[in-house]
Structure 1
Amino acid sequence: MTPSHSTKVNTRYRYYVCTHAQKRGYSTCPSKSIPAEPIESFVIERVRAVGRNPELLRQVLEQAREKGAARFAELEAESRDLEKDLRAWHREVAQLAGQLNPGDVNGPLVTRLADLHARIEAAEHRAAKVREHLTAVSDPLITEEDAARALTAFDPVWAILTPLERARVIALLVARVEYDGGAGAVTVSFHPTGLTALADELSRHHDHRSIA
């Protein structure tokens, strides 16, 4: 499920929408949408549970390491594929440019060159994004001690956050929400760097509150 919202009479309603419903039609999903509050309350309770249980915290961090390593491998493979495509397209551009005849229409050549330039631009844009993701995933994972410290500070900071700030914290933590409407079960997957992002966010709010 993915977060969404609607506004009616100056009131903003937040909810989670079934991803299958968005892509394939609402008839494909028994749980088309659910309010954001119960989902996010469940997430917050999970965060609190992790903070209270050192063994659970270790498990969460280990899972984050495994997910981070898997994601890094995926991104590296994509980066290699992009670089391979870019090299091939640049070679073809150079070859075709040498075949252009001044004064001729060069219709097919010009069409192919335009297509190649569009492909190169899109691939270079994606390659830059992949490099950004690789940098983020390769950053050192938060230590168990720092994670425990951040989670200890969670409740006091959470209490003073605005709804928009709370939604931001949830977005930093949660990678995926799965809801089984028939069983009434919710499964939450956390971002590999979620606890690190949470610690940074809580530290920022703590520093701001101290200055104020």
Structure 2
Amino acid sequence: MSQRRCRRTRYYVSQTVLKHGAGTCPVPRVPAAEIEAAVIEQIRGMLRAPEVVVASWRAAQPECEGLQEDEVREALAALDPLWAELFPAEQARIIQLLIERVDIGTNGLKLRFRDKGLAQMVAEVGIMNGKGQKAA
């Protein structure tokens, strides 16, 4: 974190730089706000992808008996416009649920998603809406 003109700026610093020092990595540090915005945009785009809806529905079926594909599509679509209204702690929880790792390189950003993260999120939404029942 640095402070400039009474304003704090957060940065993500490369593990290589932390272990081996400055100059050892082509991307030594990146402003946190830029990375976080890019990660959120990728998540939002992913939630709109038809193949993600189908995969999430299939993965969530064991957790939510009777859950329908259109219910999953609606739940994932509803998250996008509500994102800005969520408390930061809930946004962080969803991101941690979905994202395992973020790698930054000279050719861009690469996200590694958690295998069960989307299924768990869909199951939670289905249970909260009463659209499915947790399997015993």
| 1:55 counterpart residue number | 51
Query: Does residue 1:141 correspond to 2:66, yes or no?
Result: no
| 1:178 counterpart residue number | 103
Count the aligned residue pairs. 121
Q: Is the 8 A contact 1:157 1:205 kept in 2?
A: no
Query: Does residue 1:169 correspond to 2:87, yes or no?
Result: no
| Residues 39 and 20 (structure 1), Cα distance of their counterparts in 2 relative to 1, 3 Å cut | same
Q: TM-score, normalised by structure 1?
A: 0.44
- Whole-Å separation in 1 of the counterparts to 2:118 and 2:9: 27
Q: 1:1-212 to 2 correspondence within 5 Å?
A: 6=1, 13-58=9-54, 61=55, 141-143=59-61, 145=69, 147-181=72-106, 183=107, 185-199=108-122
* Structure 2 alignment gaps of length 5 or more: 62-67, 130-136
Larger strand proportion of the pair: 2
RMSD between aligned residues: 3.8
Tell me the alpha carbon deviations over residues 49-100 of structure 1, each in whole angstroms, 9 at most, x when there is no partner: 2332213544xx49xxxxxxxxxxxxxxxxxxxxxxxxxxxxxxxxxxxxxx
Q: Is the 8 A contact 1:15 1:34 kept in 2?
A: yes
* Larger displacement relative to structure 2 (149-158 or 197-206): 197-206
| Corresponding letter in the other structure for 2:77 | T
- Whole-Å separation in 2 of the counterparts to 1:149 and 1:22: 43
Q: Percent identity?
A: 36
**Secondary structure class of the residue paired with 2:60:** coil
* Structure 1 alignment gaps of length 5 or more: 1-5, 63-139, 207-212
Please identify the structure whose Cα radius of gyration is greater. Answer: 1
Q: Is the 8 A contact 1:40 1:170 kept in 2?
A: no
Q: Is the 8 A contact 2:60 2:120 kept in 1?
A: no
